[in-house]
Amino acid sequence: MSNPARSNQASPIPPAQKSSKKGLASVLEYVQGVTQVTAGTLLALTMLTSSVVAGGLVGLALSFRNLPDVRVLRNYIPSETSYIYDINGTLLDSIHDEANREVVGLNEVSPHLKRAVLAIEDSYFFSHHGINPPSVARAFLANLEEGRTVEGGSTITMQLVKNLFLSPEQTINRKVAEAVLALRLEQVFSKDQIFEMYLNQVYWGHNTYGAETAARSYFNKHASELTLAEASMMAGLIQAPEEYSPFINYQLAKQRQAIVLDRMQKLGWITAEEVAEAKAQPIGLGQITSFQASQAPYVTDAVSQELSDRFGQDAVLKGGMRIQTTIDLNMQRLAEEIARDGLASVQAQGVYADQISIVVVDPRTHFVKAMVGGVDYNQSQYNRAIQALRQPGSAFKPFVYYAAFASGSYAPDSTIMDSPVSYPDGDDYYTPQNYDGGFYGGMSIRQALAYSRNIPAIRLGQEVGINRVIEVCRILGIKSPMEPVTSLPLGSVDLTPLEMAGAYATFASGGWYSETTTIVQVTDSKGNVLLDNTPQPQLVLDPWATAALNEVMQGVISNGTGTAAKLDRPAAGKTGTTSSERDIWFVGYIPQLSVAVWIGRDDYGPLGVGATGGTYVAPIWRNFMVRALEGVPVENFKPTSAFVRP
């Protein structure tokens, strides 16, 4: 909404028919035509109306000097719905508090709707000064006859101040306060400014506020696009939005539409032909937009929480943010489908898993392209992609191998011993074992990683230093707590699937790192940028060491523990299985995509004997990659020969 204090545009709305009868004469004629009261009653009413209209409000204004200062509306910003979009501009979710509202300027509202609202709510809006004496007189008589407040006689200005400043109670004091504030408002703001505020403030039912949001809900179009038929139906809802709603009672909404159209014709604003055409026009309804389900709830929950932590919850719920996420909705839906089918498949094979998470990161930007936080959001809103800290098992080993390559002391074909070893561990000794319980003796680092041997990883961790391994993890963006224990190279640390996918993405990019994020940009409703996450890549890893790691990790898929993940293009990755078989992983990548898949149980129970990442998770990873990479060009990893060894 434009700032009311600065709005000076000429009204685009034809003024209501201006009565040539001014003052008390108009009051008397209006009252006489409506109520057919006796001459004595008219005389009494004349005296009463004269005293109220001509001078009474001035005195009452003094009594109500403690009323709110309407000038605060110069800086008033109504609560507004925030919208979350995917990377391509597809709406994922709308977030709001009680009021679902999108603010627009007066020139962004259809002239049909402006005229229809004026016709049914306040046809003399452009000729009165905040209150309309004939309406006041009519309401006074009705209320006097009933002995209680049964009719309002409110102008649009009075309705606005009531909605903004006063309680909804029907009392004489409130009505007088309403009138006083209306007079004050008309002294401070122009008619166009007041009407714009009203159209953005008015309640249209189903938690929908403002003309734009109501038009999107009822007719699935912008307020500027409403036809006469749609505008007149919408204007007819204002007095009792839920009761007259076409979603609830279409025939009653049509009756209200006819009343509005007939009123517009009586005022001379439309012709009889236009009335007939509008009444006959079929109305295509939209759907209730308030509190709709998100198209990607795990994603939008995470985005909302991140922005609430940064800007505060009120800013997200009421601030009218426009949030462009990094998510590709098509890829998100694919990941959700693969997750459901993949979990069902491993369960059918006897694995006692009940949850799965998939995270997809673009290594070129570190944008999260898809995030599956669980198999069914309706059953559990817990987002395992970012909240579940689980042991990665052998999927952690690449961080150790990179540190070894970066030290300058090791190359892919360097020999490492796979033989029994023990290390002091407090008052005891730590004696690691391989998954199969045996030992291979001397072997190349290439083979050690491909076959996921534990002893070589432990030896390398001791050689390069556990603290150096932790430092590498921090460089890759991993923030979860880590203790420098001897068993760390085997994944004895709790990490999230997002951390794993993001860290591997830096390997995929050749060592270039940007902060992994689900948000591209956030603006307010006027386009002012609040947050900009344009990637700012930095080379954080040694290029030769990264190329060496990519080379040996391709061997994991080509002839190691991850052969079930083999693609028709170069791909690198690593299986992960914890010693207790509570967590199984496959994390892999190509130059354009890094994907982590985790399977486990929320109660941390075992998945069953023989449940490994290579057997059960690698095929799920492959199924996702095959479909996600349709039409994506094949790219090769850069060889170690392209770089100088450290």
Q: Which residues contact 303 (CB under 8 A, 6 or more apart)?
A: 84, 323, 325, 518, 519
Tokens of 94: 């709308």
Please say if 230 is a catalytic residue. Answer: no
The β-bridge partners of 347 are none
318 CB neighbour count, 10 Å cutoff:
21
Instruction: Give residue 99's Cα distance to chain centre.
Output: 16
Kindly name the residue from 121, 336, 551, 581 that is annotated as catalytic.
121
User: Distance of CA 427 to CAs 157, 209, 421, 430, 544, Å?
Assistant: 81, 69, 17, 10, 40
Instruction: Give residue 83's Cα distance to chain centre.
Output: 5
> Is the distance from CB of 148 to CB of 171 less than 8 angstroms?
no
Letter string b/e over residues 246-280, b meaning 16 or more CB atoms within 10 A of that residue's CB: beeeeeebbebbbebbbbbbeeebbeeebbeebee
**18 vs 578: CA distance, rounded Å:** 82
Please say if 336 is a catalytic residue. Answer: no
What string of DSSP letters covers 79-140?
A: -B-EEEE-TTS-EEEEE-SS-EE----GGGS-HHHHHHHHHHH-TTTTTSSS--HHHHHHHH
> Is the distance from CB of 462 to CB of 486 less than 8 angstroms?
yes
Tokens of 528: 């002012």
With CA atoms as reference, report the closest residue to 452 among 574, 598, 588, 554. 574
Kindly name the residue from 217, 394, 487, 514 that is annotated as catalytic.
394
Burial (CB < 10 A; 0-12, 13-18, 19+), residue 157, is buried
Q: Which residues contact 514 (CB under 8 A, 6 or more apart)?
A: 365, 366, 535, 536, 537, 538
Query: Which stretches does DSSP call E strand in 363-473?
Result: 367-372, 415-418, 423-425, 428-430, 441-444
Query: How much of the chain is in helix, strand and coil states, percent to nearest 5?
Result: 45, 15, 40
362 CB neighbour count, 10 Å cutoff:
22
Q: Give the three-class secondary structure for 322.
A: strand
Catalytic residue annotation: 121, 394
